[in-house]
Chain A
Amino acid sequence: QKEVEQNSGPLSVPEGAIASLNCTYSDRGSQSFFWYRQYSGKSPELIMFIYSNGDKEDGRFTAQLNKASQYVSLLIRDSQPSDSATYLCALKTDSWGKLQFGAGTQVVVTP
């Protein structure tokens, strides 16, 4: 079983709709969770981080964390064509530098 699981997609979302991305993880000791956006040929860009159970909102993005279910999600409201990218879920399970990445979910926003 992979440590961090994401659907690879592509997730096709009409412009203006909500994109919902999911990420499950196996290590119950995971402490912090990150969402990165990566455009094709570019480097990962941090969108959100979340440490506590519940929701965290930043603009059109909402991260949701449920540690009991070992599940973290990212909602993108009012999706725009510029949101078309691969979204990487990452987490830290200890105090050291290693980020565990999921394989990424490709999102395609269609006009």
Chain B
Amino acid sequence: DTEVTQTPKHLVMGMTNKKSLKCEQHMGHRAMYWYKQKAKKPPELMFVYSYEKLSINESVPSRFSPECPNSSLLNLHLHALQPEDSALYLCASSPAVAGARETQYFGPGTRLLVL
């Protein structure tokens, strides 16, 4: 089973709202990722968690705040977003981070619209 789940599927929020995206996997993977994908562009890495610790932050603005409460769960807290943050937010997981052969599996994504 290579399933990564994400909720909600769609989210509309105003620039003053606070919302959270949730990602879950039960494959025993110890690495989890957040990506942002704009239309007709490839995914862009935002954050990497390895063994529940943040290991990579790709200079993402502080209005995006990741959290990894346990090895199965990854959250992305959103606050004071801008319209240009509207995108498909993808979560992925892999068995581990270290190792060139670790394969990442993507969840279905959350489509975010910021008004």
Contacts and interface: CB of A to CB of B under 8 A. Distances in A.
A95 B100 contact: yes
Given A96-B55, A97-B33, A97-B50, A44 B43 contact: yes
B23 to A, nearest CB: 12
Nearest to A92: B100
Interface string A39-50: 001111110010
Tell me whether chain A's interface is mostly helix, strand or loop, or mixed: loop
B105 interface: yes
Q: How large is the interface on B (under 10, 10 to 19, 20 to 34, 35 or more residues)?
A: 20 to 34
A33 B41 CA distance: 19
B90 interface: yes
Contacts, number: 67
Interface residues of A, number: 25
Interface string B97-115: 1111111111111010000
A99 B106 contact: no
B88 interface: yes
Contacts of A43: 88, 90, 106-109
Given A44-B43, A44-B90, A96 B48 contact: yes
B74 interface: no
B13 interface: no
